[in-house]
């Protein structure tokens, strides 16, 4: 083997090593980027889960309050059946619902889902 062949062989080997080093570096950078993305998505998932848990708790509390209020209204109407056939005077309605951020419409709704509203 001549000196030129040895030099060319050494240069080819050096070129292969540089190529392998570059490939390793690129894959390392990709792995770091993927790891950072996993951390970001994990934090986002934790925040979304916390928000969902808070919403679920709030919705359950609101449903419980609504059920309690509906029971109270039903009991009051059963105790005073003459009130079920009369309309609420405007000044009483305004005193009950007039100061709310979105005023009540006064439209009678069905007390049971799927049932028709009276009259």
Predicted confidence at residue 108, as pLDDT, reads 56
Averaged over 22-46, what is the pLDDT? 96
Q: What are phi and psi of 41, to 5 degrees?
A: -70, -35
Per-residue model confidence as pLDDT tens digits over 65-95: 999 989 998 888 888 888 777 887 888 878 8
Return the DSSP state at 64: H
Output the pTM of the full model.
Answer: 0.51
Predicted confidence at residue 109, as pLDDT, reads 53
């Amino acid at each position: 083997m001549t000196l030129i062949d040895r030099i060319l062989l050494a240069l080819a080997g050096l070129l292969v090593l540089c190529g392998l080093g570059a490939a390793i570096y690129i894959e390392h950078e990709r792995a770091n980027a993927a790891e950072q993305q996993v951390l970001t998505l994990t934090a986002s998932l934790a925040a979304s889960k916390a928000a969902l848990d808070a919403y679920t708790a709030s919705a359950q509390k609101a449903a419980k309050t609504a059920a309690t209020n509906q029971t109270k209204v039903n009991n009051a109407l059963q105790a005073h059946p003459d009130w079920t056939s009369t309309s609420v005077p405007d000044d009483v309605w305004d005193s009950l619902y007039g100061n709310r951020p979105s005023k009540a419409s006064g439209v009678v709704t069905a007390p049971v889902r799927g049932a028709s509203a009276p009259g």
